[in-house]
Structure 1
Amino acid sequence: MKGMTAALRHRDFRYLMAAFTISDIGTWAYNVALAIWVIDATDSYGWLAATTVVRFVPALVFSPFAGLLADRFERRGLMMGADATFAVLMALMGTAMALDAPPLVVLAIAGCSSTLGSLYGPAAAALTPHVVPEKDLASANTLRNTVDNLSVVLGPALGALLALTGPPQNAVWINAATFLASFLLLARMHQRAPGGDVTEGGEAGALRQMTAGLRALRDEPGVLVLVGFSVLATGMFGADTVFFVAASDQLLGTGPDGYGYLLAGLGVGGLLAAPLVTRAEALPRLAPVIVGGMALYCLPTLLLLASDEPAVAFAAQVLRGAGTLFVDVLAVTAMQRALPSDVMARVFAIFDSLCLMAILVGSTATGWVLGVADLDVVLWMLGAGGFAISLLGLPWLLAIDRRAAVRRAELAPLLRLLDAVELVEEVPDGGLVQLAGAGELVDVPAGQAVVTQGEAADAFYVIVAGGCAVVSEVDGHRIDAPALAAGDWFGEIGLLEGVARTATVTATEPTRVLRIPGEDFLAVLTAGRPTAAFTEQAGIRLRRTHGVGYTGAALRP
């Protein structure tokens, strides 16, 4: 559980998650209320189908442009603007329902809301790496999926309760209030995620700007494979939206209420599995986790071939909900870690579009199969067929594992070196891997300065082999600090204090150093509070060269 909640240590992420939770629950309650109002107002399943269309199609069409906007403008501000607009749209919809407006008016407002929603998701996904360090991304995405699963359970229950106690528009008005609450929570965040020049210096046209996400995915084959598995799982969820209705009616005998019952099972499974996902993310091999997740998502469906008990069906959905969480979290985390920030929102917009298409294809295909075959065929299709399709991606997963093993072997000597650096002794393993991966081995001949007093501080150094002399000049007086040998480090003072180099470090013999860029060093160090050993070491070294103490200016928000 500790690993799962690691991202909550970061103030801005807590506000982001609170905003997600409130608005997601309100949105699920609104979805139930909208369906109830449409049926009551039209008594037509055709209009109900139209409701599904306006929830998905506008978002599918608008997603590429939405991702472009989220990369162009500051993401937190964009989300706040979306929340404010959502609140206005929901207030208008609730009023239209209360006034018995034509269904077309209500669905038009729903379509506008769906279109706006395609902007919110990519902006939020691209903002997340700015509010949590890389090592906590898996925790952040697990918590986000946990909120999604919790919302699936609580949101429809809230919508149904409100429908029993009053008209459907009450839930819509409450949804407007949740968006206002989300707006206020986002306003409390300190961190910003500025946009960039999406025109590539004025050279890129609109089409090239919108397809930058596709090109970024193409250049990261490992991420593309994980995206493929997530899209496959999402397509199967689309199939579930039709299959659950048929199974409830034809097999379980639970009637229309069985749909929500089975959907809640998926949500419960995701909640139960959440603490395990961050542990799985840290495992050295990816293939067993992804294939195991797909097996857990697909194969329990076959239990319904042997039993028509609602309790068995619910238990099967709990297992399936656990399986899909592993696939989704690992895919999203891989994208956030591997892709450049300036195209990340566009990548997530493409990802959202693929997921929406998969839902439409999955639901349509399942409806067609049910029209020409019996339910057992659908059970085999979703259970055995879905897992068989996932196995086609196994060779690519194994290739990713082989490349990762080679990379770990390459980093092993650097990790051993960093593990002995007292300054970072309490940095978690994930942070040390981040430092080692960002580092570069540099050979310095005897007599050459590695850093010079007065120059800008841009990196942290650890001596791998050789030795260095440390000299500083204060008020015209030369100060010789103790010599540095293999295993010692330097360069942290300028980075931590946000000042120029405080001393000159010169190689006294052929020397090899590990150079870690300053932004990577600070990103890892600022992920938590400085330890006592950290503060003591920094203070001692600064007093040796300048007679003043350490303040840790760069570590303060």
Structure 2
Amino acid sequence: MPTPDFRPTALADRPVPADRPLPTHGPVEVRVPRQRRAPEPAYPERPSATAPRPVEVSEAPQGLAGRRALVRLLTGHGLATLAQTTTSLAAGAYALERTGSASLASLTVALGVLPYVVLSGLAGLVADLLPRSTVLAWSCGLRALLVAASAGVMVLDGPVGWLAVLAVLAAVAATPAYPSVAASVTQCVPDEGLERWNAVATGVENLAWLVGPGLFGLLMVVGCPPSVVALVAAVVCTVAVLPVLGVRLSRPARGSETSPGWAAEALAGLRLVASRPRLRAAMGLAMVDNFLYGYVVVTLVLLAGGAGGVLPGALTVGALVAVVVTGRLARAVRTTRLATAGLLAFVLALLGTGLATRAAGVDLRLALPLVGLAGAATLVAEIAAVTVLQRDSDPAVLARVFGVYDQLNVGAIAVGSALAGPLAQVLGAGPALVGVAVGAGVVAALVARGLRRAPAV
């Protein structure tokens, strides 16, 4: 079909050279309709799990609101842990009163620790799949119900076996709490404030475990039976739920949309720690630190003699000082160096304490400042190790990493505590402390070398 010619007749009759284009009626202007800009999202896009230094977005934004949210989470977690610890000791005292068996009383208390060693990894998975504030609220609420149930069993003079079951269930409910709190720190505060707020979080965690026995002892001294102690703990645990309920953190970012299965998800934190040398070194450093802590807590009771609780009190005072000064130290010293220095100072302080022990007893003039230094150094090392784990872990599995942390370090404390008595009986408390400090110092030097050489993520 021939192409129609739309030129005027006069132009159509003229011959047109082959190398010239046909004339047109002028340039053709093509108008492209203006596209409207899409509205910007209310929150920035979540980073992927492979981003080197991601910051998760939460409904409690970083800043003043984030700090307030974190304070509320720490308050609830601290009060719930204090109440749970107090109830566990009250259950042991009740078992001793009912049965007269020290072994059964000890078993009742020990059952309240066992789930931390077994289930913390799986609990970290729960804290990675759900909003961490929601996980902590459920943990505090369930613990409040179980503590109240334990108090009811004691008030009604119920069987000891029920208390053992309730102690296990309360510990199971508590296992997601610390992984949730540790992972929430990165949501609520900026990177430069991690050391300072980790000091606060670690201080709350440790003080809750220390104040619980103190509250139990105080109530027993004034004549309260175990049932009344448990009732007081139930009230404290109920109050712990209130500050947590008002916090809303977003669901953690997932590394991928496809799930590899529950078993693989549960082991993701362990695989991450095993695959990264820096995480392995930080975890190893924390394990050495907590092994020594478990060992020294029992040893100080053996060394105290007529000094009563003076030496354990000095350890607590040193830890309180560390909570205050660690943030300032972190601004002047690199975090990895701070972790190494804290652990080595802990080892040297324990070595000096062991050398200050004679056959007649411990020299308090030398031991008190050394034990205080040990209390500060152990907490500094742990805070720095926690900060390394937070910064170098993928945010999608951060709570699972701290589930592994809880498993390994509670186990390290248990091993250290279990070894203290037999070694002191065979070698003497002072010489055994010297030997353990030397051995731990060698391991600490190797771990610190690995932490220093491992590349940052």
TM-score, normalization: structure 1? 0.64
Which of 240, 246, 270 aligns to 1:214? It is: 270
Equivalence for 1:292: 341
Shift of residue 133, structure 1, vs aligned partner: 1.6
Change (3 A) 1:9 1:186: closer
Change (3 A) 1:149 1:86: closer
Equivalence for 1:533: none
Change (3 A) 1:169 1:298: farther
Equivalence for 1:514: none
Rounded to whole Å, the distance in 2 between the matches of 1:261 and 1:206 is 48
Equivalence for 2:394: 340
2:230 equivalent to 1:172 = yes
Shift of residue 367, structure 1, vs aligned partner: 3.4
Query: Root-mean-square deviation (CA), in Å?
Result: 2.6
In structure 2, give the amino acid aligned to 1:209. Answer: E
**1:298–1:382 CA contact under 8 A, matched in 2:** no
Shift of residue 371, structure 1, vs aligned partner: 4.5
In structure 2, give the amino acid aligned to 1:274. Answer: V
Shift of residue 185, structure 1, vs aligned partner: 0.4
Q: How does 1:348-387 map to 2 (within 5 A)?
A: 348-387=402-441
Equivalence for 2:56: none
Shift of residue 197, structure 1, vs aligned partner: 5.5
2:364 equivalent to 1:306 = no
Rounded to whole Å, the distance in 1 between the matches of 2:411 and 2:75 is 29
Change (3 A) 1:48 1:296: farther
Equivalence for 2:203: 146
Shift of residue 288, structure 1, vs aligned partner: 4.2
Equivalence for 2:190: 133
Q: How does 1:325-336 map to 2 (within 5 A)?
A: 325-336=379-390
Change (3 A) 1:283 1:397: farther
Rounded to whole Å, the distance in 2 between the matches of 1:133 and 1:304 is 41
Change (3 A) 1:168 1:106: same
Equivalence for 2:43: none
Equivalence for 1:117: 174
3-state SS of the aligned residue for 2:112?
A: helix
**2:424–2:430 CA contact under 8 A, matched in 1:** no
**1:152–1:263 CA contact under 8 A, matched in 2:** no
**1:295–1:387 CA contact under 8 A, matched in 2:** yes
Rounded to whole Å, the distance in 1 between the matches of 2:418 and 2:313 is 22
Equivalence for 2:242: 184
Equivalence for 1:253: 306
Q: How does 1:157-556 map to 2 (within 5 A)?
A: 157-165=214-222, 166-189=224-247, 191-195=248-252, 201-248=257-304, 252-254=305-307, 258=308, 260-286=309-335, 288-301=337-350, 302-307=352-357, 308-310=362-364, 312-400=366-454
Change (3 A) 1:23 1:265: farther
**2:195–2:384 CA contact under 8 A, matched in 1:** yes
Shift of residue 8, structure 1, vs aligned partner: 9.1
2:100 equivalent to 1:43 = yes
3-state SS of the aligned residue for 2:260?
A: coil
In structure 2, give the amino acid aligned to 1:332. Answer: V
Shift of residue 111, structure 1, vs aligned partner: 1.1
Change (3 A) 1:365 1:292: same
**2:147–2:237 CA contact under 8 A, matched in 1:** no
Rounded to whole Å, the distance in 2 between the matches of 1:369 and 1:117 is 32
Shift of residue 282, structure 1, vs aligned partner: 2.7
**1:7–1:139 CA contact under 8 A, matched in 2:** no
Shift of residue 87, structure 1, vs aligned partner: 0.7
**1:19–1:183 CA contact under 8 A, matched in 2:** yes
3-state SS of the aligned residue for 2:111?
A: helix
For structure 2, list consecutive stretches of 5 or more residues without a partner in the other structure.
1-62
Rounded to whole Å, the distance in 1 between the matches of 2:96 and 2:64 is 42
Change (3 A) 1:299 1:87: same
Rounded to whole Å, the distance in 2 between the matches of 1:212 and 1:36 is 40
For structure 1, list consecutive stretches of 5 or more residues without a partner in the other structure.
1-5, 408-557
- Asked which structure has the greater RCO (Cα within 8 Å, sep 6+), the reply is 2
Q: Select the structure that is richer in strand.
A: 1
In structure 1, give the amino acid aligned to 2:312. Answer: L
In structure 2, give the amino acid aligned to 1:300. Answer: A
**1:246–1:375 CA contact under 8 A, matched in 2:** yes
3-state SS of the aligned residue for 1:376?
A: helix
Change (3 A) 1:25 1:296: same
